[in-house]
Structure 1
């Protein structure tokens, strides 16, 4: 049989199958589960090997940082080892071993089993220095990691700001983190605007959040708490109240300089010429802590020796979602906004509304208020926001790269594929104050949701 005959015979056999495939209805799409862990599977059980390792800046980020990590209950009060990073694999300094710091340990029981969470603070470090460090487990150590302390004021700085991650972190947030590292290879600091997870005490979600943010392992993390870091105790009863999940306190050894009554979720630190203040919007709105935080913030900003200041908060002062959300957030504008504007805060970095929106202050001077989202849950922009914010954006996962060099603080918002979505710079002109300089070159147009409803049938969102 010739090749042509064999080919024709095979084609006659295949054509009916191809025709049937073409006529078959498309496969139905379903809402993706919130985690990739199948029901009944235990994937994130603690073991003797250290995991969920994360560093956060100390109050003076040039001289220290704190580290948290998790093991199983067999490990109690382990050590952290740290040394100035070397080109050689030998981590000893001659006959001197790496410095050891003992950790404090707390027990936490979750659906994945009993874990021990450890925290150690390392001070007395040299500014602008790359350190190698590792943490101890059960008869084992983590791999060595690198972290650079904040450099002296005036040294160029690159860092990241990330909006809500919250949902489907392992599946869809991970790609944003990889792209962020590609676009900001010199970043040593990342700010998270809250709602890291969807359920405050869901240990699988926390496990996936640490997996998703693993590409940022050489950076210090500075998170703000979101409403989803809290849970409802006594829900649907007269005693219902917001309670901070224990995972938050176990996972982050934050500076102990917060506002009275909300110490675990408010803090400030200085990093290379910028004072960062982190506010707990949930406690301000739901636990009557707005005035307390306003007084605290007033003191933090009044005592700021730096040329620059930023506030990180979950709930936005101006919501891209619409008037109802803005009414709910009125207490933030009444109590906290006057403090920020009186002290000339430069940027207010926010999350909560799963959209993008930027709004300036009257007169074209700072503060600049930004709302962004990194995770896949996507809302719809209100008509009011379209009239008062520019740019705005729907159906877009984003991350932000900020760079401080000399008197110029530049800001870029980029999509999950790296495209430039928004860009501007704040220029410090000394006695003349600071001005905003727009950058339009290379920016893509405003993105809008092209769906009439989500896969789950919701018409008030773009994606869920």
Structure 2
């Protein structure tokens, strides 16, 4: 055909063009690999990811006074915010509460962490009405948080629920977020949340505190927290001695009603028929045992819950706290403390009511739990009514008059352990075990629990 090219020459040209295109792609790919940033360089630096700004963050409710008539809130900004405030009003069904808001000036504390300088601000709302829902926000007059809500405690011993979690500690935002959020999803009207120490792994690394606040998010704005320090909230100082890390007190506004020198780490709160006592078992254990004995001599509340980091009965090998047990357990026995909620051992163990070394009627229920991903192996012991390994857990505890109902649930929300305590006048509590039929979570072991 006139003007046609022989077939062989056509294929040769096509092949050449294909080879040239392929070569260009290879060269382009090599050039991209040389110029593209490595994956590790894409990670947002902590100083950027957790940097403060004029917009309030790390907003958290706590108590420093009576939960019936006060509420404390603490938050962080950058150093440009020198004067901060909170606004509060009684909650209403619509937006008109804003016409009735009042302002409370904040106390501002300059603070420098390993990520740089910041300001922490705190307000204690006072003169509140018991059993009332309030709305509040925090800011500087121009940059405000959203409006959040909380409800003051009732004057009466009305039924309520609270949550308790053990060590969050590691991979906090990645692995702990779903646990604390599941706790709130199961009981959205929680009165408070107990953190039994080791909230973080390295207390001097502010990015870990940033993860901790970010994981709970707005839950901290609506549910008051009652934290106690663990050993990881302590660190060596320049003089070689261990001390509470400087990150603790600026970000929590807690009671100062414990022994001198342990303010905001050793304290108590009375709420709707329950006395909640926080102990700092990292230091001054003898002094706190004596303080606790006197505190419980005149306790008008029906129920007593104590929380501290180190267990009275350990779940892991080589971690027994004999001296602590010898100091505190006689006080718990004497005053019939109902629950002792602890962490530290990165596994789960729960007793029956205990008044001696082994299980028998009378006394206290001891719990060791963990909510973060760091796990230890359980060493089975006679005191354990239920145990578990490699399981992230949260506990929901309901107080209903003469009944206390306890549930421990996995990160998936599955029931792992449960019991009920029934209060008897001038006698030990009655324990009713409601352990689910599922096997205990053990490493390479599938066995039924020791429940009754």
- CA contact 1:54–1:69 (8 Å) conserved in 2: yes
Cα RMSD after superposing both structures: 1.8
Please point out which of 352, 358, 378 is paired with 2:375.
378
Q: Does 1:167 align with 2:164?
A: no
Out of 192, 204, 213, the residue aligned to residue 189 of structure 1 is 192
TM-aligned CA deviation for residue 123 of structure 1: 1.7
Conserved 8 A contact 2:56-2:144: yes
Q: Kindly state the Cα deviation for residue 299 of structure 1 after the two structures are TM-superposed.
A: 2.1
Deviation at 1:157, TM superposition (A): 0.5
Q: Paired residue for 1:141?
A: 144
Is 2:424 the counterpart of 1:417? no
Out of 324, 335, 344, the position equivalent to 1:343 is 335
Alpha carbons of structure 1 residues 396 and 215: separation in structure 2 relative to 1, 3 Å: farther
Match of 1:392 in 2: 387
> Within the alignment, does 1:106 sit opposite 2:115 as a pair?
no
Change beyond 3 A, Cα 1:103–1:39: closer
SS of residue in 1 equivalent to 2:314: coil
Deviations 1:16-70 (A, max 9, x none): xxxxxxxxxxxxxxxxxxxx96557621111000000001123421111111100
Partner of 1:46, secondary structure, is: coil
Question: Residues 229 and 443 of structure 1: is their aligned pair in 2 closer, same or farther, counting only changes over 3 Å?
Answer: farther
What is the aligned partner in structure 1 of residue 276 from structure 2?
276
Displacement of 1:75 after TM fit? 1.1
Deviates more, 1:431-440 or 1:266-275: 431-440
Q: 2:216, 2:280 → 1: CA distance? A: 22
Q: Secondary structure at the match of 2:209?
A: helix
Question: TM-score, normalization: structure 1?
Answer: 0.82
Cα contact 2:166–2:369 (8 A) shared by 1: yes
Match of 2:79 in 1: 73
Q: How many residue pairs end up in the alignment?
A: 398
Selected match of 1:303 from 275, 298, 301: 298
Runs of at least 5 residues in structure 1 that lack an aligned partner in the other structure: 1-35, 284-288, 452-464
Q: Displacement, 1:425?
A: 0.9
2-side partners of 1:98 and 1:130: how far apart?
Answer: 13
Question: How far is the alpha carbon of 1:139 from its aligned partner?
Answer: 2.3
> Given the two structures, how large is their TM-score scaled by the length of structure 2?
0.85
Distance across 1 between alignment mates of 2:368 and 2:404: 18
Q: Secondary structure at the match of 1:90?
A: helix
1:450 and 1:101 map into 2 onto residues whose CA distance is 57
Q: Within the alignment, does 1:118 sit opposite 2:121 as a pair?
A: yes
SS in 2 for 1:140: coil
1:89 counterpart (82, 92, 95): 95
1:228 aligns with 2:232: yes
Q: Distance in 2 between matches of 1:402 and 1:379?
A: 25
Change (3 A) 1:367 1:59: farther
- 1:196-215 mapped onto 2 (5 Å cutoff): 196-214=199-217
- Structure 2: state its 5+ residue gaps: 1-41, 446-452
